[in-house]
Amino acid sequence: MAKDYYGILGVSKDATQDQIKRAYRKLARELHPDVNKEEGAQERFREVSTAYEVLSDPKKRQVVDLGGDPMDNGGGAAGARAGGDPFAGFGGLGDIMDAFFGGGAGGAAGRGPRSRVQQGSDALLRLELTLEECARGVNRDVTVDTAVVCDACQGGGSSAGTAPSTCDTCDGRGEIQSVQRSFLGQVMTSRPCPVCRGFGEVITDPCQQCGGDGRVRSRRTITVKIPAGVGDGMRVRLAGEGEVGPGGGPAGDLFVEVEEQPHERFVRDGADLHCTVQVPMTAAALGTVVTIETLEGEEELTVEPGTQPGTEYVLDGQGLPKLRSNGRVSGHGDLHVHLDVVVPTKLDEHQADLLRQLASSRGEEQPEPTVSASGNGHRGGIFSRFRGFGHR
């Protein structure tokens, strides 16, 4: 009479493979002899293991659904039947868990050998640029020192006419397994093979030029196109110009980072520029025309009569290009001109007399000196003036 394998696992006949797996996992953890010492647990564990073996195999499950028993004819694990070892397929509870997390019923399944060909890493190069170069963009030849594919072995790592051989230590699996006993039973662990370093093969005759790595260091010159509008700290990406990977793997990218040098006249704020223009006190009072040097040439700026210190003029579109994230330019910033009125520090008697006459004609009296809040006779600083502001 055919066994009710669905009933043994406690699932319905239309259960999915995930449901069958979850039911077996739960029962196996409860009934494994390393955990459950009760009488009958060993026999029950044997039944559960056999039921999972049958229902997890589509062909055997089909036989069960047709009313037969695939284990009657000797099919399946001998250990699941009387007279055999019921735990032949499992070294311990750790192996049961491996069956659900990447392993199989016969023990922890390995990940397999890893490829010798690996992705290369990115490279970084810093490039000093002037403000003018950042504004206009520039093509610059730079020298880079990176790993490139070995031209002797073409990245394979072996000498001409030879090829890697299968590792004898791990038999090409790339890893070796070890079994340790714990309070939960036998636990099987895997680690990379120390001989082949996880590759599964050994280069017996390495290339003399690259030593088996498949790549060599090389210095080369490439042209970098810097777009207009870049700024300090921005990076330009050159795809595939970085380090070639081990085994001749694909190269990473090269990033060129801009280091903008300070400018003697302008201070940059994004796409805007700021500069300070000094004019004499008399010129600010009478009005004048000053010549401003911009990045694109000279511009004339009209200073109106009576212009006060700190007055700001804005020259539209005289800043830097506005570089967007997509690499395109959208408009330009502005140039902010800050007026610095220069007061003479030394006057001869004639110049002083003229200023007195001007003050007298304007009805201006000489102001009293500002004293600090402490009354010590010294001129008050900016913070003392702020403190006295609310009492005026």
Instruction: Report the alpha-carbon distance of residue 54 to residue 71 in Å, rounded.
Output: 8
Annotated binding residue 275: no
Q: What is the pLDDT of residues 235-281, one digit of tens each?
A: 999 999 999 999 888 999 999 999 999 999 999 999 999 999 999 99
49 lies in the same domain as 11: yes
Select from 238, 262, 286 the last residue of a domain: 262
Select from 100, 129, 161 the last residue of a domain: 100
Domain coverage including residue 367: 351-392
Helix (H), strand (E) at residue 329: strand 329-332
271 lies in the same domain as 377: no
Task: State the CB neighbour count (10 A cutoff) for residue 301.
Answer: 16
318 pLDDT higher than 90: yes
Where do the H-state alpha helices sit in 225-297?
281-286
285 lies in the same domain as 339: yes
Contact 256, 238 (CB under 8 A): yes
23 pLDDT higher than 70: yes
186 located within any domain: no
Annotated binding residue 193: yes
Instruction: Report the alpha-carbon distance of residue 242 to residue 122 in Å, rounded.
Output: 5
Task: State the CB neighbour count (10 A cutoff) for residue 197.
Answer: 14
Q: What is the pLDDT of residues 188-207, one digit of tens each?
A: 778 889 899 899 999 999 99
193 located within any domain: no
16 lies in the same domain as 79: yes
Instruction: Report the alpha-carbon distance of residue 167 to residue 201 in Å, rounded.
Output: 5
Select from 262, 297, 331 the last residue of a domain: 262
- The proportion of the chain whose per-residue pLDDT surpasses 90, expressed as a percent, equals 45
88 located within any domain: yes
**Which of these ranges, 21-25, 78-82, 328-332, has the smallest mean pLDDT?**
78-82
Confidence band for 109, pLDDT divided at 50, 70 and 90 = very low
**How far are the Cα atoms of 1, 11, 75 from residue 81, in angstroms, in the given order?**
15, 22, 10
164 located within any domain: no
Residue 72: what pLDDT?
A: 67
Annotated binding residue 170: yes
Contacts of 37 by beta carbon, 8 Å cutoff, 6+ apart = none
41 lies in the same domain as 95: yes
Which domain CATH number covers 26? 1.10.287.110
Using CB atoms within 10 A of its CB, is residue 367 exposed (0-12), middle (13-18) or buried (19+)? exposed
182 located within any domain: no
253 lies in the same domain as 384: no
Where do the H-state alpha helices sit in the chain?
5-9, 17-31, 41-55, 58-65, 93-100, 131-136, 281-286, 349-361, 382-388
Nearest to 46 by CA among 61, 57, 25, 32: 32
Q: Give first-to-last CA distance, the chain, whole Å.
A: 108
Instruction: Report the alpha-carbon distance of residue 375 to residue 388 in Å, rounded.
Output: 12
How long, in residues, is the chain? 392
> Span 113-127, mean pLDDT?
90
Q: What is the pLDDT of residues 130-167, one digit of tens each?
A: 999 999 999 999 999 999 999 999 999 999 989 999 99
Contact 359, 369 (CB under 8 A): no
46 lies in the same domain as 132: no
124 lies in the same domain as 238: yes
Helix (H), strand (E) at residue 255: strand 254-260
224 lies in the same domain as 320: no
Contact 181, 188 (CB under 8 A): no
CA 245 to chain CA centroid, nearest Å: 18
185 located within any domain: no
Confidence band for 82, pLDDT divided at 50, 70 and 90 = very low
Residue 184: what pLDDT?
A: 64
Residue 116 tokens, joined: 């010798």
Which domain CATH number covers 221? 2.60.260.20
258 lies in the same domain as 369: no
The chain-wide mean pLDDT, for the chain, equals 81
255 lies in the same domain as 274: no
Using CB atoms within 10 A of its CB, is residue 236 exposed (0-12), middle (13-18) or buried (19+)? middle
Annotated binding residue 150: yes
Q: What is the number of structural domains in the chain?
A: 4
383 located within any domain: yes
Instruction: Report the alpha-carbon distance of residue 298 to residue 291 in Å, rounded.
Output: 7
Angle at 72 (CA atoms; ends 67, 78), nearest 5 degrees: 135
Using CB atoms within 10 A of its CB, is residue 354 exposed (0-12), middle (13-18) or buried (19+)? exposed
128 lies in the same domain as 217: yes
